[in-house]
Structure 1
Amino acid sequence: MHILDDPSLSPRVRALLARARRGPSMSADRIRESARAEASDGSKAPVPAGATEAMIRFEGRYGGLWYPLLSSNGMDHGLDGAATVYPSIDGWGFPGLTDGDQTWGVDVLLDGRTVMTLAEQPRVINSSVGQRLEAHAQLAQVRGWPHVSLGIATEPGQEPTVDDDGFPTLDAEATGPADKWWSNDGTAIHLELHKWWGDEDVWVACCFARQDANLTAAVEAVRQAGARVWRDEEWCPLCSRFRRPDQPCLPGAESRHF
């Protein structure tokens, strides 16, 4: 069932997709007829077991889906007329998404995980396209709340060790390998991998509070979540503006510094 026809979606995903549109998609027969595989050197390779059915499942569920998130470019889903799989260090996959906010492609592995490659370094970022949608839907819910971002550096390939005592409840449906959410009715914390190449990985912890007065507690909870190396974050991707490190963005009010 295509996701836009699915009545069982969570309320937040339904809200996210209220502005979605659906374009053309490939039929299962066409995918079967045109399925092919390319080796790392560009030569033709045998189509791996399960690859054709994985592309059919993906296209049947998400083909032609487009929705906006942070910019007007939007998130584009679909095989776009090509049913070709390629090998990677994480397994076989196919180009299935374009992240409009990142203006970059995202591959889908045969097991459903997603991979983004930047600076020639691939990284698994979502456990599934469904998890990616839940994460985007959660961000859409809170992006207009007062918020502040903190940069965290780790060893390459390592996640921050987070003691989430004092955090809101872990949002398992929205949480993936590089995109983690804790939330309740009035507060949310988003930990997202921002850079994964070079001498260190950089994660961004963004704290949200429905009420400005509660933002300080969320920021303090993140600061107390364990020893780490902090990195200044001067650019707010939600507001598309520079601000002083640790300075909150307060929609409709003058920003203050914590």
Structure 2
Amino acid sequence: MRVIDAKTELYGLVGSGISYTLSPIIHNFIFEKIAHNAIYYPFDVPEEKFERIINALLELCKGLNVTIPYKERVVKYLHSIDITAEKVGAVNTVFGWRGYNTDYIAVKKLTSKFKNLVTDSVCYIFGAGGAAKAVAIALSELGCDTIVVINRTPERALKMVHLLRAKGFNAQVGNANCSTREFIVVNATPNPDFVPDDCAKNAGLVIDLVYRPVETSLVKKAMAKGVNVINGLEILVTQAVEAQRIWLGIEFPEEEVIRYLYAGKFIW
């Protein structure tokens, strides 16, 4: 049984409406496995209280993760941000008042295995939030020829396109034409069914950020046609392990975390 004492370090996640999160399960499992005297707690902070609470959390927590809707808002409270957070314009990990973006790190690491498929391809990004930006930048750096942003709110899609163009990437707002040349499909929305069936079945690579269920409808359609897939669980666990590397300098096996999540029926 873990004992909490005066030397126990506090880590946590700050967001709003985060009852679904698996981050405490993942990070507390890692702390226990490496016998590190720390706990990880989810801080569900309403938006009207964020300004009052964030500095206290940054002071109290040895390390912090940041999720929706605060990945961009947290930046002004930090002393600095590293190149990963600067590229994306958002922070999801904090250590020593410095911000990082392990979403970007995780996606680039996982997608680099399929660099031959990404190079010179069209990349259809469904969604225009912070995670979508991280994926779009990672894919662009790996050689994606054109990023096409598809979002129900055109204004948000256009804002993301402007950001990508400002960084020198070829991007546009549009619709998915999944019957033409080589392409990559990314679902960065909560609804995998937002992606048309022909996109799932004809892509060279499908990336779905949804992790429960692991085999979403999009992932199942892609796998049935032999399409390469990166699922949301892989991204979730990889970005969490990257956060541990930033906080503690350790390299923890992603496979061990995934086995634990399945064994505990935290995912399905």
Query: Is TM more than 0.5 here?
Result: no
Tell me which protein shows more helix as a share of its residues. 2
Tell me which protein shows more strand as a share of its residues. 1
Determine which structure has more spread, i.e. the larger CA radius of gyration. Answer: 1
